[in-house]
Amino acid sequence: MAKIGSKKNKTQNQTTSANNDKFKSDIYHQLFEIGKRLLTESEVNKLLYSAMDEAIQISGAERGMIILFDETNQIQFQTARNINKEEIKNPEFEVSRTIINTVKKDKEPIYLQNALEKSEYMKKESVKKLQLLSVICLPLIHQKKLFGVVYLDNRTFAGIFQPDTCQFVNEFANFISLAAYQALERKKLQSHVNELEKELRGKYKFESIIGHHPKMMEILKLVSQVADTDATVLIQGETGTGKELIARALHYNSKRKDKPFVPVNCGAIPEPLLESELFGHVRGAFTGAIKDKAGWFEVANYGTIFLDEINDMSPALQVRLLRVLQTGEYSQVGSTEICYCDVRVVSASSKKLQQLIKVGEFRDELYYRLNVIEIELPPLRERRSDIPLLFKHFLNFYNKKCNKSVSRLSSETETLLQAYSFPGNVRELENIIQRAVTLAENNFIESHLLPTSVRGEQTTVSETTKQLTLIEAKRSAAKKAEIDFIKECLQATSGHISNAAKMAGMDVGNFHRIITRHKIDVSVFKSPSKSNFNNTD
Ligand SMILES: Nc1ncnc2c1ncn2[C@@H]1O[C@H](COP(=O)(O)OP(=O)(O)OP(=O)(O)O)[C@@H](O)[C@H]1O
Ligand SMILES: [Mg+2]
């Protein structure tokens, strides 16, 4: 690395102006190369250390320091060469501190050829003791905001930082600004992602899938069996039934768990954009494609991609997806180059894909690729026995989150919830509880804290008494259906109890108990026997 401003360089520079130009162009070239390296360094500390070394090399400084500040102006990172931490606190470092603070305040560079000659510093003990001679201190600025300073000095030589050195170091500082700013942003983003990840892992651990209903137990068993395989999984179910929750459980219980889980809502992204979102694009592929962009398949490499609302995918994209599933190959939009990926595909649909196949909206060969394993999530109304469990789960969660201790429901609230059909499924139940806990003033949930959708299902019935009538009506309808069904079975088997029980899929004991409970007269279904006939006679 050529050192600018060194005596040897100066002699060379004076030789010919051609040599001078060549020298400058070499330096610029090197500066450019260093800048490129810095821009690709993502670790802030490493970046600062190599920037520090390069700055000392370029300038011929003896020592140096780069300091980055956070939003509250506190030192966030500090990297020094040939200055140890203790020294920084020493009184001898006072001048340097004053210079750094001035740059921080004025956002203007300071170049000193000889600090001993500057009236504001010459009397300071530190200048005399340290023989602090040459100093450069530059602000690091991004979008007009100062976020750091670069400090370089030399205690042996005065005038080592000539104007050309200052100019180069200044340009170098611009690279450092950009690279350090980017690295800080990446670090912020990474720590945000890590926090999210932690939260997600907590939330999507297997244990957080609540449900004891036999259908849910079956699903959880299946999830545990297939999670650690690469089989594609298709999850179908109404909105809010937990499709994404299951998809995450599959990922976080697989060997891919430390790699990305990338959810893509195929229904929310307009068709032409979805292709480039999934597969990426190269620069110039279409108007507005000003640079290459990685697609979700690339981002999800070695992890899992979750294609939500797959039913909304256009036929053309379905063909491209089929190819990835078959071969792991795809090309970015605007490119013919083949890329490979190793991504597990989990998809979800709130519409029955088989029905879409019948009307020609979904390709059957894709369907068979997607649903090597099929999971059908039942709506909440078909597993009402899980409602109290889910209720408790969300109550705990939102109590913690809102720092409350709501612990029970008023009887009217309980009645309303028992009667409600939850068209929005678990998500709706969760929202209802979140809302109620947020608004609750006591430790119980009163009915006025429920949304109108829950209270409105009794639109024609505004008072509790009438609501109770509705519930009773439901109970009596259920009772009637049960009696009718039992009678039908008895009718079909001419009153033969064990055959009728078999037909109803029940054991004889239970069947008998229902007959007794509803006081059903079995004899009326029996074919007239000889004795009966005789008796009649
Ligand atoms: N069995 C469950 N146990 C605990 N929480 C659940 C369960 N099912 C769903 N949830 C919660 O309900 C909300 C909705 O779930 P999720 O987003 O997985 O549903 P979805 O089927 O993907 O919905 P949509 O079709 O609307 O996208 C989430 O907050 C989720 O954590
Ligand atoms: Mg979803």
Ligand 2 centroid–CA 268 distance in Å is: 11
Same domain, 358 and 445: no
378 lines ligand 1 (CB under 6 A): no
Which DSSP symbol is given to 183? H
% helix, strand, coil for the chain, step of 5 = 55, 15, 30
Q: Give the Cα separation of 331 and 338 in Å (integer).
A: 5
- Number of domains comprising the chain: 3
Residue 363 lies in a domain: yes
> At residue 430, does pLDDT exceed 80?
yes
Which tokens belong to 392?
């408790």
For residue 209, the CA-to-ligand 2 centroid distance in Å is 15
User: Do 54 and 164 lie in a common domain?
Assistant: yes
Find the 262 Cα to ligand 2 centroid distance in Å: 13
Question: Which range marks the domain in which residue 475 is found?
Answer: 381-532
d(CA 85, CA 235): 57
Q: What percent of the chain is modeled with pLDDT above 70?
A: 81
Largest distance between two CA atoms of the chain: 142
The residue among 229 and 81 whose pLDDT is bigger is 229
Q: Taking Cα atoms as reference points, which of 227, 296, 294, 298 lies closest to residue 256?
A: 227
CA distance 282 to 335: 6
Asked whether residue 74 is domain-assigned, the answer is yes
Q: Flag whether the pTM goes above 0.85.
A: no
Q: Under DSSP, is residue 320 helix (H, G, I), strand (E, B) or coil?
A: helix
Domain assignment present for residue 98? The answer is: yes
**How confident is the model over 442-455, as pLDDT tens digits?**
888 998 999 988 88
- Indicate whether residue 265 lines ligand 1 (CB < 6 A): no
- Using the predicted structure, report yes or no on whether residue 497 has a pLDDT greater than 70: yes
Does ligand 1 come within 6 angstroms of the Cβ of 5? no
398 and 346 in one domain?
Answer: no
Q: Whose CA is nearest to atom 16 of ligand 1?
A: 242
Please tell me the least confidently modeled range out of 240-249, 357-366, 404-413, 421-430.
404-413
For residue 429, is it within any domain? yes
Q: Which residue has the higher pLDDT, 89 or 443?
A: 443
Decide if 4 is inside a domain.
no
| Mean per-residue pLDDT, 335-364 | 94
Determine the residue type at 130: L
Give yes or no for residue 531 having a pLDDT over 60. no
For the CA of 237, the nearest atom of ligand 1: 21
How many alpha carbons lie under 13 Å from residue 348 in its C-beta half-sphere?
23
pLDDT at res. 69? 85
Residue-level pLDDT at 432: 95
pLDDT tens per residue across span 160-181: 888 888 888 888 888 788 888 8
Among 8-17, 191-200, 273-282, 284-293, the range with the most confident prediction by mean pLDDT is 273-282
Containing H/E element for 504? helix 497-504
Residue 232 is part of a domain; what is its CATH number?
3.40.50.300
pLDDT band at 380 (very low <50, low <70, confident <90, very high): very high
User: What is the C-alpha to C-alpha distance for residues 204 and 241, in angstroms, rounded to an integer?
Assistant: 14
Residue 400 shares a structural domain with residue 424: yes
Mean pLDDT in the chain? 81
CB 226 within 8 A of CB 374: no
What number is the average pLDDT over the span 206-234?
86
51-73 per-position pLDDT tens digit = 888 888 878 888 888 888 887 87
For residue 248, the ligand closest to its alpha carbon is 1
- Atom 7, ligand 1: which residue's CA is nearest? 242
User: Do 107 and 234 sit in the same domain of this protein?
Assistant: no
Cβ(238) to ligand 1 under 6 A?
no
Residue 364 lies in a domain: yes
* Helix-helix angle 163-204:44-59, to 10 degrees: 170
Ligand nearest to the CA of 240: 1
- Choosing from 213, 312, 427 the residue with most ligand 1 atoms within 8 A of its CB, the one to mutate for a pocket test is 427
CA of 431 to the centre of ligand 1 (A): 11
The per-residue pLDDT for 473 is 64
Q: How many CB atoms lie within 10 A of CB 132?
A: 25
Res. 134: pLDDT tops 50:
yes
In terms of DSSP H, where are the helices of 107-255?
Answer: 119-122, 125-130, 163-204, 214-226, 243-252
